[in-house]
């Protein structure tokens, strides 16, 4: 009996030390984010003198994680071990929108604060896709988000779904991040046009 206990202990220690060794030998995890080039953001000709509150997008829990997700052939879903986002996608998108719209100066001020601040308009959204998709030998960056612009006084609502699927030049994590940043820039530009058109079709008092 003592022999079996000793043998079990030796095997356990061997396996544990092996796992620990493998963990130590893994390269450091890289952290990526979605950002903006402030020099490329142009001030809008429309200035409403109004305020806007940007809310964090609604999103399912499995998608809203710092882990960098990928899907293979619409069947297999997993995450990269050595790469992650700096924040949850919903938070990155919220800050991206808020930062961009602030610099366009369409509104007197744009807030994404959790504080209960009064605003003339609010921007709600649903994040549907924020993933790296593999289809056979090709891969794509996917972003899909549905946006609702609401006048808090009249309750008038404008909505639009923005969907982007862009092929990567190479099937690498780095190219995925670069492409997702490019898509995010396009999204903020399209969103700005959507907001301007919505406000132009609505009497601003």
- How confident is the model over 46-75, as pLDDT tens digits? 889 999 999 999 999 988 999 998 888 777
pLDDT tens, residue by residue, 91-149: 999 999 999 999 999 999 999 987 787 899 999 999 999 999 998 889 999 999 999 99
3-state secondary structure 8-65: HHHHHHHHHHHHHHHHHHCCCCEEECCCCCHHHCCCCCCCCCCEEEECCCECCCCCCC
Residue 4 token pair: 């079996």
Q: If we measure between CA atoms, which residue out of 114, 87, 85, 109 comes closest to residue 98?
A: 109
Structure tokens at 200: 């132009």
Euclidean distance between CA atoms 145 and 125, whole angstroms: 7
153 is written with which tokens? 């006084």
**Contact criterion met (CB below 8 Å) for 100 and 192:** yes
Average confidence score pLDDT of the chain: 86
């Amino acid at each position: 009996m003592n022999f079996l206990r000793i043998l079990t202990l030796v095997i356990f220690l061997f396996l544990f030390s092996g796992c620990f060794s493998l963990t130590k030998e893994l390269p450091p995890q890289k952290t990526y984010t979605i950002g903006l080039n402030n020099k490329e953001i142009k001030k809008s000709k429309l200035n409403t003198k109004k305020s806007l509150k940007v809310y964090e997008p609604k999103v399912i829990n499995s998608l809203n994680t710092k882990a960098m997700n990928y899907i293979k052939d619409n069947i297999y879903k997993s995450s990269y071990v050595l790469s992650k986002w700096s924040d949850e996608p919903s938070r990155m998108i919220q800050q991206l929108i808020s930062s961009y719209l602030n610099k366009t100066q369409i509104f007197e001020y744009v807030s994404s604060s959790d504080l209960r601040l009064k605003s003339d308009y609010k921007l709600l959204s649903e994040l549907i896709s924020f993933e790296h998709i593999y289809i056979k030998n090709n891969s794509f960056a996917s972003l899909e988000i549905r946006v609702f612009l609401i006048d808090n006084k009249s309750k008038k609502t404008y909505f639009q779904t923005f969907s982007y699927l862009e092929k990567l030049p190479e099937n690498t994590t780095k190219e995925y991040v670069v492409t997702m940043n490019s898509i995010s820039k396009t999204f903020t530009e399209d969103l700005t046009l959507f907001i301007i058109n919505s406000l132009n079709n609505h009497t601003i008092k």
